[in-house]
Amino acid sequence: MNALTRLVSALQGAGYGGRLLHNEPMAPHTSFGVGGPADLFIRAERIDELIGWLRLVHAYAVPCIVLGSGTNILVADAGIRGLVILNACQSYTIDEDGRVVAESGVSLRELARHTVAQGLEGLEWAVGIPGTVGGAVVGNAGAYGGYMADVVQETLLLDRDDQRRRVRRAELGFGYRTSALKRVVAGEQRPIVLEVMMQLRPGNAQDLAARAEQITLQRQTRTPRGACAGSMFKRTQHYPAGFLIEQAGLKGLRVGGAQISPQHANFFMNCGNASAQDIVQLIEIAQEHVWRDFQERLEPEIELVGAWPEAAVPEAIHRGG
């Protein structure tokens, strides 16, 4: 019996067989809408399930990736080997001092909308960001001058040795669109965010609602509609990535079913039938042209996860899974 089969037996024995999906296509679980099948796929509704399953996969040495909403990843056409756990742990509490304790599968934008309505300041920049609180901590999500790093006080992690550990902000190594967690390649037993403690400030509910509304309107006009993963590349030290890609003459460029958005050059779109490989080719073309024309290196914000053939992935792209 191989490790995967033993894991399936263990999950079935623990009563989870009915929730375990085999060869589950990943496209519907990502905002890009691309990606081949995961060997095994299961949705965690509770933190104790998440912890129990992670301990099992480690015991059986099965590769595993925990996903939030899949809005910052590109899954390989060949899919993902091992187990994918979709994090749907969605409880949170807010106390009278504005301290939020959220399970990592909570929707960031829903939490932001709720705290704005409660007159709590600190997350209004996040009203339009899809994804979970856990994914947002990993990538230090941010917009309109706000970042997760500004509000996160502490996280509860499941560490590599399967122990729960409270980690304070200073230890999380936050940087521009990154954290100490993101720097661990996703497939190499990255610590998993279970809960996030955030401190918000009392504010004026009307002012906050107006600010949130303004941000929502700006996002609606600036963000291309369709299947994508938000911004493809980080800003370079000198320029916004979209400006460089546009100046390189690549706006609107298509490879197969993928296109650099004609509206905003840092958004790479799946026009309906893109493969993951089409998108990677566009990434590579953008990196090459911007380097050739401006000597600026474009670093992807998104992570590549799954079974990528080595030759298919340009060296400059950060890989996970």
Active-site choice (109, 301, 303, 319): 301
Minimum gap (Å) between residue 96 Cβ and ligand FAD: 27
The answer to whether residue 179 is catalytic is: no
Residues at the interface with ligand FAD (CB under 6 A): 31, 65-73, 87, 104, 129-132, 134-136, 138-139, 141-143, 181, 186, 190, 192-193, 223, 228-230, 303, 320
Specify the residue, 135 or 289, whose C-beta has the smaller distance to ligand FAD: 135
Q: How far is CA 185 from CA 111, 138, 149, 254, 317, in A?
A: 28, 11, 20, 29, 12
The answer to whether residue 177 is catalytic is: yes
Minimum gap (Å) between residue 202 Cβ and ligand FAD: 25
Active-site choice (113, 169, 177, 235): 177
The answer to whether residue 31 is catalytic is: no
Specify the residue, 109 or 289, whose C-beta has the smaller distance to ligand FAD: 109
The b/e string for 281-317 (b: 16+ C-beta within 10 A; e otherwise) is: bbbbbbbebbeeebebebbbbbbbbbbbeeebbeeeb
Reduce the secondary structure of 94-134 to three states and give it as a string: ECCCCEEEEECCCEHHHHHHHHHHCCEECCHHHCCCCCEHH
Minimum gap (Å) between residue 278 Cβ and ligand FAD: 17
Specify the residue, 89 or 244, whose C-beta has the smaller distance to ligand FAD: 89
Specify the residue, 223 or 281, whose C-beta has the smaller distance to ligand FAD: 223
* Single-letter amino acid, residue 296: E
Minimum gap (Å) between residue 67 Cβ and ligand FAD: 4
Q: Which residues are marked as active site? A: 177, 231, 301
